[in-house]
Structure 1
Amino acid sequence: MLLPGATLGVLGGGQLGRMFAIAARTMGYRVVVLDPDFTSPAGQMADEHLCADYRDPNALQRMAETCDAVTTEWENVPAESLAFLSARCPVAPSPDCLAVAQDRLSEKTRAREFGCETAPFANIEDSGDLVHAWSVIGAPALLKTRRLGYDGKGQVRVNSLDELVAAHEQLGSVPCLLEGFLPLEREVSVVLARNAQGEIAVFPVAENQHRNGILDISIVPARVPEAVAAKARDMASRIAHGLNYVGVLAVEFFVLKDGRIVFNEMAPRPHNSGHYTLDATVCDQFQQQVRALAGLPLGDTRLLSPVVMVNLLGDVWTHGPRWLELLKHPGIHLHLYGKAEARPGRKMGHYNCLAPTVEAALELAMSTRAAIGITD
């Protein structure tokens, strides 16, 4: 058990690492960040920023010597870097868990092993598998790269074999999955924490809406029957236990029109759809990340208020952000990530809208979203 005064390391310097660093330092820990960007959001908040490549042997040795435990804000850190660190200090989540989440075939296969239903899919190792995959899945379908796809990247909708062939070439002819479409009613996610003692704490289920493949808003509590929410929490917990997972884990599900819950994907780290916890739960997802990494008892995940989280992308900066439209509302909490450059589609921040009811929170979110120039 690591108590305040210990040093925690994080691989990755983006906004998730930044919020981890803030939580850790608030709780009395020192923080070391390894990230090659000297302007990294997490590096701004760290006690020490190792500005180097993730494979840099000197930086990794420094982290191993300095840190009492290491986590990551990004699942696609080089495997050899994780292996180096895990041989010298505790690393959570483990390299094995990260490896599962790095590959869509692995995560869907493991999810099925733990009793979760998935969309129908066919594996494509190379172009020789395209015809068979199409015969299994058919139209309409979604071609997804097995690795490195996020926020709508690395996936193409296809409606014919010819389109599949062209899409596979467009994606670089890398290993892919071809997934069948399902009759979706909505999408939800579960964020939970699990520590090395096997204790699990699950946050309230979020209902997520996307725009151009990127999360737009999260509504909490999700507007689904309690039986559906309970099933999602149970499935996410089974995955965490089955993987012997330590850390914060996010699991995304499809809710079908017939009420079934289908596993979509998981993220072995805090998640965009869990940002509502920063203002609306007793303990937030980054405090839980610190607690799980340090081997502490997990915090209280109780929802204190209905809340809607709104993502702020770089598009909002095109004509200058109108922050007063948000800050004049006492129920809105603004979080900006300290990124040096705003680009269209880049996550620059978010805000949480708290209100007595989920309907009022959603109304506040949608009205202010329009007032600052976010358009559908």
Structure 2
Amino acid sequence: MNNMLKAGSTIGILGGGQLARMLAGAALKMGYHTHVYDPNPKSPAFEISSLKTIGSFEDHGLLKKFAKTCDVLTYEFENIPHKALEEIEQIVQIFPRKTSLYISQDRIKEKQFFKSLNLETVEYATICSFEDFSKSIKQIKIPSILKTCREGYDGKGQLLITNKTKKKDVEEHLLQGPCILESFLKFEKELSVIIARNDNGDVVSFDPGENVHKSGILYSTTVPSQISKTLQIDSIIIAGKIVNSLKYVGVLGVELFLTHDDRVVVNEMAPRVHNSGHWTQNGCAIDQFEQHIRAISGHALGDGERYSDVTMINILGDTTKNFRNITNAAVHFYGKDEARPGRKMGHVNYVSPKTS
């Protein structure tokens, strides 16, 4: 996109969850309408969007009709059928480009992509059968993690391999489809970089965040991360290599491990705004959601500067009542009507003066 999207234009969003909800809010602030497409009639983003379409991602006729109402299109989650994007792309431009999504949808392709950039990853092997597993476990060793190649997130689709794991456990896991066996990395910290690139090739990164996961789900992100400036720069350089290689347009989340000997290991990427970037809503003048809208609509990117220290904590399941009366932090609820164990219902940003 070489020209700035005109005010009053419509930005289409595939997926109607909390990320789409916050993207729609950012677009509205910048003078744009949004049209959200999601199968769920109770999608949180529908409360914010200008237009909504309820439909399956397999309904190509409805997707085409939706696409014709949009001036540019983006998405809020990875598991969109590739065929659907091919149909839509004939009608309207999609950012981030579908190549990024195609890579991130498959953990093997993602690891191969990282390796092509000479980025360090954990040791891994492709597993399609128990025979593959039996051969590869000798090299990968125990403990290790067997993950489905596709559609796993927030700890889903993962099997921890230990000395107690039985053959039937592995075979049952493989029924979900091809898998990747990853070596178990003893890391010092979990980090993430939220980075943006526009179609002109301008790149801006937010400060790396330090993450804590519980039961495979992000619990908190803290900035500044307690790592050296050199390691912060190294992390941003890695994310920069990824977005430039992809000729990426939009915001990308890159998850990293920091080892005990200060090696930065790439875990995965998310071609969208990211949970670990929610701290930017109360720590930066331009947050990740506005940054994404800026990138896909042809605006100049915000500078990414952080003016506060922030700890973001996810509000999970039925814990929302614990956060209703908070008066010393910024609480963001997603408008979901059903609280299930582990479901992200909102987040809270605890803000303090900037220290470094």
Q: TM-score range by the shorter chain?
A: over 0.9
CA apart distance, 1:162: 5.3
Residues 272-283 of structure 1 mapped to structure 2, 5 A cutoff: 272-283=275-286
| 1:337 alignment partner AA | Y
Aligned equivalents of 2:209, 2:323: Cα separation in 1 = 27
1:46 matched to 2:49? The reply is yes
**3-state DSSP class of the match of 1:66?**
coil
Match of 1:347 in 2: 344
8 Å Cα contact 2:191-2:255 kept in structure 1: yes
1:332-375 Cα deviation digits (max 9, x unpaired): 1010001111111000000100012569xxxxxxxxxxxxxxxx
8 Å Cα contact 1:206-1:218 kept in structure 2: yes
State TM-score, norm by structure 1. Answer: 0.91
1:1-50 Cα deviation digits (max 9, x unpaired): 21321110000000000000000011100100000111101111111100
1:33 matched to 2:30? The reply is no
**3-state DSSP class of the match of 1:209?**
strand
**3-state DSSP class of the match of 1:355?**
strand
Q: Which runs of 5+ in 2 are unaligned?
A: none
1:244-265 Cα deviation digits (max 9, x unpaired): 1111100000000000000001
8 Å Cα contact 2:64-2:91 kept in structure 1: no
What is the total number of aligned residue pairs between the two structures?
353
Match of 1:191 in 2: 194
1:138 matched to 2:141? The reply is yes
Match of 2:316 in 1: 313
**3-state DSSP class of the match of 1:42?**
helix
CA apart distance, 1:51: 0.9
Aligned equivalents of 2:182, 2:167: Cα separation in 1 = 12
**3-state DSSP class of the match of 1:21?**
helix
1:296-316 Cα deviation digits (max 9, x unpaired): 211121001000000000131
Q: Which of 235, 240, 243 is matched with 1:240 structurally?
A: 243
Aligned equivalents of 2:76, 2:181: Cα separation in 1 = 28
Aligned equivalents of 2:302, 2:100: Cα separation in 1 = 23
1:217 matched to 2:214? The reply is no
Match of 1:69 in 2: 72
Match of 1:91 in 2: 94
Aligned equivalents of 1:42, 1:200: Cα separation in 2 = 28
Is the deviation greater in 83-92 or in 251-260? 83-92
Match of 2:324 in 1: 323
| 1:303 alignment partner AA | R
CA RMSD in angstroms, aligned pairs only: 1.6
Match of 1:285 in 2: 288
8 Å Cα contact 2:323-2:331 kept in structure 1: no
| 1:323 alignment partner AA | R
Q: After the TM superposition, list the runs of 4 or more consecutive aligned residues in structure 1 that deviate by more than 3 angstroms.
A: 160-165
8 Å Cα contact 2:279-2:312 kept in structure 1: yes
| 1:6 alignment partner AA | S
CA apart distance, 1:321: 3.8
| 1:344 alignment partner AA | P
Q: Which of 140, 149, 166 is matched with 2:169 structurally?
A: 166
Is the deviation greater in 169-178 or in 5-14? 169-178
Residues 249-264 of structure 1 mapped to structure 2, 5 A cutoff: 249-264=252-267
Aligned equivalents of 1:173, 1:303: Cα separation in 2 = 42
